Structure 1
């Protein structure tokens, strides 16, 4: 018996994981007979999926049953719950049951609690743009899965270039692999081949920190032109300025241990503290403290409706003014 639950909004990463599960579960010669993808709008989709999972496979390999974007992790009727309780523990070793959902499973549901006991859960949510350490780690993980050797500095540069866009990350790594062959991917190769699509919210944050109003407004225009969502831009700015505030506060408290500073600022890699120190060197703690009410006001106004672009522009001007003093 093998049961998997994949959830999250990063559809490209989830689809890759589904393909990997198919490849290791199904015999290529019998795959078309032993694979069932059941859409959420199929009548009695959950019941059909459970029945199929109880059916022995044809020929070699296992049977893979995929309940695509199933709602039973968010709402589950008593009838389906009874079927889950009766069927899941009895699934044969020859069956693999996969449930996927874009939404986070509701931990309060009996169906989720049951699956927590029997299934392997894997999250595929986009990494927040300000979580630089996690973005770099994702680059290394994907490169390893594609059998690509990449230098640490090149991984950092690639993470900066593609942000949390998993689809582009895979595309760029495959392109780099063709370019370097069996050699390690270095910074020069990344800079030569990879186009930076993340006129990123992080770049916007750094520009605001410098008090450069004109460039900041230009970056806002670029982000909006690429259909970046203002509330996501706001979340990135809040996360980055919060990190800078904590780093500056620990410096003011004369903390020298980079690990202690990293822990307080929730920075995964203590080596980043050296660069964060440099970034906040020219701005005061008081200035950083003044940015947070403006950022929280930005988030509140964006969530309450109104002209999101105009609100974002006005708040960026306010932030630049505070950082320029």
Structure 2
């Protein structure tokens, strides 16, 4: 299929896929003649891309036309749609037309439905930081791709360290591969701890510190995250996801539910085996504290979106959350008379 649509906010993974497609499509000796990269600020970019896609390649190899950060899957005029409808079915096999976008295609509009018919669509969305199973699966798959063996605990630690930062994951795996050399043994957890940077400086660790009411540690983690240029809204998104998950687990357990699969389904957790560990997380905290944490996180998000000083506002709300979990202790468990 000569038409591709790549979308998602995982820029590094998408750029890797683009490079692979470019290398597979173009002949190195003729690439300067057969490669067109059309920037988003070009007013007639889509029309130019379609015209270039109809032009036969020079010399050897194929032609690659890349329409960068296109918005045709979010909004598309009737005139532009008519051009797409006329051109996409007849793009020659010697041409590869690539469209990329950060935003998810709107499946309701006609241009997206047209591309679904004629294009191969690939998603490069970042994995939510609280979906640890998926993060660990990606670490394992990426390590296998470069021929590196990792112990199960090393995979867990590496996923915790890099989160959903694909670029950082590749950097750390290459570092570990150089360290391993020709060795055939799996990289152990102590090696990851020694070589991988910032293994405790991530948003999930911040969520744990807040849950445990450790104000000093939480503020230190906020400082570390900002020093690493972690976007404030991304930190908040991770906290919301984690506290929402803890709240669902606590709600289900206190309602008397004992089926791990049903609890996992309600909390949107892929692996029911995680429920035991999440139950241990929320065992010593009250349902009231978890319920009250979400409005505070909403205030934090709204303040950031309205232009509050990110560092000061984040620190103040993190302190408020820590005090919340210090102040509200779980109700004592009632036991029946023997």
After superposition, where does 1:24-103 map in structure 2 within 5 Å? 24-42=24-42, 44-103=44-103
Deviation at 1:97, TM superposition (A): 0.9
TM-score with structure 1 setting the length: 0.90
Partners of 1:73 and 1:198 lie apart in 2 by: 39
Cα gap change, 1:168 to 1:321, in 2 (>3 Å): same
Partners of 1:290 and 1:41 lie apart in 2 by: 45
Deviation at 1:52, TM superposition (A): 2.0
Which of 302, 305, 311 in structure 2 is aligned with 1:303? 305
Other-structure match for 1:127? 127
In 2, are the aligned partners of 1:8 and 1:103 still within 8 Å (CA)?
A: yes
After superposition, where does 1:1-325 map in structure 2 within 5 Å? 1-42=1-42, 44-182=44-182, 183=184, 184-196=186-198, 199-325=201-327
Partners of 1:98 and 1:65 lie apart in 2 by: 6
Partners of 2:17 and 2:190 lie apart in 1 by: 30
Cα gap change, 1:103 to 1:54, in 2 (>3 Å): same
Deviation at 1:239, TM superposition (A): 1.0
Partners of 2:37 and 2:144 lie apart in 1 by: 29
Greater shift in the superposed pair: 8-17 or 311-320: 311-320
Partners of 1:296 and 1:100 lie apart in 2 by: 32
Paired residue secondary structure (2:72): helix
Partners of 2:72 and 2:231 lie apart in 1 by: 29
What 5-or-longer segments of structure 2 have no aligned partner? 328-338
Deviation at 1:101, TM superposition (A): 1.5
Q: Give the ranges of 4+ consecutive aligned residues of structure 1 lying more than 4 Å apart after TM superposition.
A: none
In 1, are the aligned partners of 2:157 and 2:199 still within 8 Å (CA)?
A: no
In 2, are the aligned partners of 1:163 and 1:198 still within 8 Å (CA)?
A: no
In 1, are the aligned partners of 2:54 and 2:91 still within 8 Å (CA)?
A: yes
Cα gap change, 1:198 to 1:112, in 2 (>3 Å): farther
What 5-or-longer segments of structure 1 have no aligned partner? none
Paired residue secondary structure (2:283): coil
